[in-house]
Amino acid sequence: MQMDFMNGFRQMHKAIDKEIEQRTWEVWLADRPHMEKFISFSQYLSKVKQHINADNSRVHKSKRDLNKLVDDIVEMDKKGALKKKSYD
């Protein structure tokens, strides 16, 4: 089960990378005639990925923070704080 999840995760990550590359290619083609200084697609893609990685690093939490959050949610569930409310 764990291996299936990891394979699926890798495939999803690869698909996202391909989508980013395709969209970046389209934007690069549109920007190309307007560039003051020409840069290659690989340089352009590298800058886009650096920007994405910088944004992602601000969002990611440490494993310890995530484990604490999960522990808090489990504790709330044990206390009944997460019981589904009925609105009938």
What's the confidence (pLDDT) of residue 43?
95
Residue 88 lies in a domain: no
Residue 86 lies in a domain: no
- Average model confidence (pLDDT) for the chain? 82
| Number of domains observed in the structure of the chain | 1
What's the confidence (pLDDT) of residue 57?
65
Mean pLDDT of 8-14: 87
Residue 58 lies in a domain: yes
For residue 26, give its domain range: 2-78
Residue 57 lies in a domain: yes
| Sequential DSSP letters for the chain | -HHHHHHHHHHHHHHHHHHHHHHHHHHHHHHGGG-SS---HHHHHHHHHHHHHHHHHHH---HHHHHHHHHHHHHHHHTTTTPPPP--
Residue 85 lies in a domain: no
What's the confidence (pLDDT) of residue 32?
94
Residue 63 lies in a domain: yes
pTM of the model: 0.57
